[in-house]
Amino acid sequence: MLTPTTLSALLQFRAERNWQQFHNFKSQAISLSLEVAELLEHVQWAKDNEVEAAIKTPDGKVKNEVADEIADITIYLSMLVHDLNLDLDAAVQRKLAINRERYPVEKAQGKSTKYDKL
């Protein structure tokens, strides 16, 4: 996730503008979803090989735009994790354990099938 220094700078940026009043769970979850949708706009109509080629162009324009969207996603997710006082690492470890049970290697390897259909 973010370093403590970057998170502190992000929270300071928000506090200086008094924006935390707007950052309840609902608004942050919606904003996070909207930022992910903006990321998807870069690939909405593109074929897979076009996406890879666009991201790897020498000028880096598309890659920088994608990086900006990923930064926006990370910002909203980081504020949400902070505001909910979540231990993100612990949450990921818990979910990974659940997914290990749902997707055992012997059933899921090389497949994109959802766990309830394996």
Quick check: is 48 in a domain?
Answer: yes
Task: Provide Rg for the chain, Cα atoms.
Answer: 18
Residues of the chain below pLDDT 70: none
Q: What is d(CA 111, CA 27) in angstroms, rounded to the nearest whole number?
A: 35
Residue 70 belongs to domain with CATH number = 1.10.287.1080
Q: Is residue 18 part of a domain?
A: no
Domain assignment present for 85: yes
| Residues in CB range of 69: below 8 A, 6 or more apart | 35, 38, 39, 42
Q: What is the pLDDT of residue 48?
A: 81
The model's pTM: 0.86
Q: Per residue in 82-112, pLDDT tens? A: 999 999 999 999 999 999 999 999 999 999 9
Residue 94 to residue 2: CA distance in whole angstroms: 20
Q: CA-to-CA distance for 13 and 6, rounded, in angstroms? A: 10
Report pLDDT for 52. 82
Is 55 part of a structural domain of the chain? yes
| Location of structure tokens 């354990």 | 97
| Domain of residue 43, residue span | 23-105
In a domain, 113, yes or no: no
Q: Residue 9 falls within a domain, yes or no? A: no
Query: Coil, strand or helix: which one is 23?
Result: coil
> Is there a contact between 52 and 43 (Cβ–Cβ < 8 Å)?
no
* Confidence (pLDDT) at 23: 96
Q: How many domains in the chain?
A: 1
Identify whether the C-beta of residue 39 lies closer than 8 Å to the C-beta of residue 74: no
